[in-house]
Chains A and B, each alone.
Chain A
Amino acid sequence: MLEINNLHANAAGNKILKGINLTVSAGEVHAIMGPNGSGKSTLAQVLAGRESYEVTEGEVLFEGRDLLEMAPEERACAGVFLAFQYPVEIPGVSNMYFLKAGLNSIRKSRGLEELDAMDFLALIRERMKILQMDESLMTRPVNEGFSGGEKKRNEIFQMAVLDPKLAILDETDSGLDIDALKTVAKGVNDLRSKDRAIIVVTHYQRLLDYIVPDAVHVLFDGRLVRSGGKELALELEKKGYSWIEEAVLQGK
């Protein structure tokens, strides 16, 4: 589904990604771990099409299409979803209205009929149960006055409604207490399917106790330096990132 070949990207002139190679197939969950500043969030944002990053080399294919050629909204319509590390507030625009505009825009691009208010309401009521969302959050302005946990839950809820093919979760666990973490993880697990690929970007292993990945990759200094199964995450948890850093610096 997703094929990243030798991806290089800059932010404000600094080289952040220095040759990423990664293949993710439908039905798989991949975790990308790494220390702060390793380029995890940059990778997530570049895949979603953030303009402030400059791709200098490499290619990204999404279902065989050149993803880097597509505008952010085209990527969204094609089925790429990013759960933001810092969800953005939009004052005065209700969460429900925002989500309906997004969903209908995506449906339209796929030649599907737009959902009317009633059908949309039925859909979000059903998806809200997965995330144990309070219905009052729907009528409040997008993310405004939401607690950290509510914001993150709202991201996964949006994912549940927009039903993407590829979901990238950027530090969805950060700032969550253990109960909120479990709720969010349950939401993600409910959304696992053979047609969907999920990339979980995280600093800590603890999220992976609840969302068990098929593969774990370690990102260090703009490159994926280790790949393995879920046991790699446990090893990182035990030893920290420094042993990988040392190993990389010693050229192993």
Chain B
Amino acid sequence: MPTSTDSIADLANREYKYGFVTDIESESTPRGLTEETIRAISSKKKEPEFMLAWRLKAFRHWLTMSEPRWPNVHYPPIDYQNIIYYSAPKQNPKLESLDQVDAELLRTFEKLGISLEEQKRLSGVAVDAVFDSVSVATTFKEKLFELGIIFCSFSEAVQSHPDLVEKHLGSVVPYTDNFFASLNSAVFSDGSFCYIPKGVRCPMELSTYFRINAADTGQFERTLIVAEEGSYVSYLEGCTAPRRDTNQLHAAVVELIALDNAQIKYSTVQNWYPGDKDGKGGIYNFVTKRGACRGVNSKISWTQVETGSAITWKYPSCILQGDNSIGEFYSVALTNNYQQADTGTKMVHIGKNTKSTIISKGISGGRGQNTYRGLVKILKGATGARNYSQCDSLLLGDRCGAHTFPYIEVKNPTAKVEHEASTSKIGEDQLFYCKQRGISAENAVSMIVNGFCKQVFKELPMEFAVEAQKLLGVSLEGSVG
């Protein structure tokens, strides 16, 4: 049930809420990308040899690739030599407690409402806060450690668990996968690493907050989650970014691995700077997210609420390898003003009796363009595979667009694939009905949109669902009128 529809009125005239810039000295590599840049990143991070070798292979492969042009999005060419690939906030070399973290940095977290101390004391959420490219503080580690759960920054994992990293890195998204994934593999600066040992149910939601800060710094995050046999983890990813005039490139890679009977639930609320109301500025969000259901009865669920970014290009996917494994994708993507989104999922059924569910809700307002692109692929051996897809689009106004590109490939005759799609406009009738009951136009739109998204919101953890609804309210600003 929607709970926060009345907040939209006071939010209606607000500028992007998280558009402030924190003034902290950064230690950066020079602009541009060469093998030297990569060696510099690797050596700054004191990485073992296998990491450097992997990065260099990725880089050399990337040089042979060209940027994909098939997405239904439009943007000026990106100058990859004009990007700073590594930027770390300067800080004391070793941090034993929060007292040692840069005070300015802590204030930024507080502005974002994610004060680590608060988090520690109240919420029971362990936060691996990624500020620009380096993780500065990690909480609840000891508690997780007792259960054998590893939850740390990627850099830390490279140092302390190189064997696990070497084994799994690139095993779901290889460095050759696509242009942006290859770029990420070459230059990624940090990210999160999470390992849930056999039979362990992670007792809290693991959460990461990303924040892009230093000007013109491309962000290349890398997340790797491994759920061993019979384990369970729910992971939250939330993003905010300060406003900028020049577009910022973000090319993250997320890899999930679920073994026998393991379950991973990955939830995202994405609120990067979308550009101003004329379409200037804003983040380019080109992300590769993929999960491998390796084991029997394993399950991976992606839930995403996308309201930010000038351009979103991402397809959280599931490779359903293990027999009886399950893949789920629940998505709300909202585009307003000049935002563009080309998003969806891929469900690849390999094992027997594998099941997948796709629920996609696209909302377009202003001049926003919203594209759903999805692939359901049933391979020969996937006897008894089933898929259900539902793609609904909601249009606010008549200058926006909604597009749906469902691809279905079935190679096994026993498979069942269902696809339902709808496009609707917020009706004059619905608005008038709400208004006749005393509800203002803004609240009515917010209510109708929240209702439209309910199927997805109910998949989010409670506090995230509330945040998502508020975000939707902010993002809908000026969409009717």
Contacts and interface: CB of A to CB of B under 8 A. Distances in A.
Nearest to A109: B438
Contacts of A97: 1-2, 447
Given A50-B432, A88-B429, A90-B433, A77 B438 contact: yes
Contacts of A98: 434, 437, 439, 447
A93 B443 CA distance: 12
A103 B437 CA distance: 8
Contact of A72 (B432, B451, B452, B453): B432
B5 interface: yes
A3 to B, nearest CB: 21
Nearest to A114: B6
B437 A76 contact: yes
Interface in A183-197: none
A87 B437 CA distance: 12
B433 A88 contact: yes
B423 interface: no
Contacts of A94: 1
Contacts of B28: none
Nearest to A139: B1
A101 B439 CA distance: 7
A248 interface: no
A228 B452 CA distance: 48
B436 A76 contact: yes
Given A84-B433, A87-B433, A90-B433, A102 B451 contact: no
A92 interface: yes
A48 interface: yes
B438 A162 contact: yes
Nearest to A52: B428
A93 B469 CA distance: 13
B450 A92 contact: yes
Interface residues of A, number: 34
Interface string A85-127: 0011111111001110111011001000000000000000000
Q: Which of B443, B447, B452 has the largest number of chain A CB atoms within 10 A?
A: B447
B107 interface: no
A158 interface: yes
B430 interface: yes
Interface of chain B, main secondary structure: helix
A141 B452 CA distance: 11
Contacts of B438: 73, 76-77, 102-103, 105-106, 109, 162
A124 B447 CA distance: 20
Contacts of A101: 5-6, 437, 439, 443, 447
Given A92-B451, A97-B1, A101-B447, A51 B432 contact: yes
B481 to A, nearest CB: 13
Given A92-B452, A92-B455, A93-B448, A162 B2 contact: no
Contacts of B429: 88
B476 to A, nearest CB: 15
A45 to B, nearest CB: 8
B97 to A, nearest CB: 42
Contact of B437 (A49, A91, A102): A102
A178 interface: no
A131 interface: no
Contacts of A106: 438
A52 B454 CA distance: 30
Nearest to B432: A50
Given A50-B432, A52-B428, A90 B447 contact: yes
A150 to B, nearest CB: 16
Interface in B241-289: none
B440 interface: yes
Contacts of B199: none
A93 B427 contact: no
Contacts of A90: 430, 433-434, 447-448, 451
Nearest to A106: B438
Contacts of B5: 101
B450 A73 contact: no
A49 B443 CA distance: 18
A162 B436 CA distance: 11
B435 interface: yes
A97 B436 CA distance: 15
Nearest to A76: B438
Contact of B436 (A48, A103, A141): A48
B437 A162 contact: yes
A156 B5 CA distance: 25
Given A97-B2, A141-B451, A158 B432 contact: no
A93 B439 contact: no
A106 B437 CA distance: 8
A72 B443 contact: no
B392 to A, nearest CB: 9
A73 B439 contact: yes
B427 A88 contact: yes
A49 B450 CA distance: 25
A170 B451 CA distance: 27
A50 B434 CA distance: 12
Given A72-B435, A73-B435, A84-B433, A93 B451 contact: yes
12 contacts: A51-B428, A51-B432, A76-B435, A77-B438, A81-B436, A84-B436, A88-B430, A90-B451, A93-B447, A98-B447, A105-B437, A105-B443
List the 8 shortest-distance A-B pairs measured between CB atoms, nearest first: A92-B451, A102-B437, A93-B451, A92-B454, A76-B438, A72-B435, A88-B433, A106-B438
Interface of B: 1-2, 5-6, 427-430, 432-441, 443, 447-448, 450-455
Given A76-B436, A90-B447, A109-B438, 6 more contacts: A92-B450, A93-B451, A97-B1, A97-B447, A98-B434, A102-B434
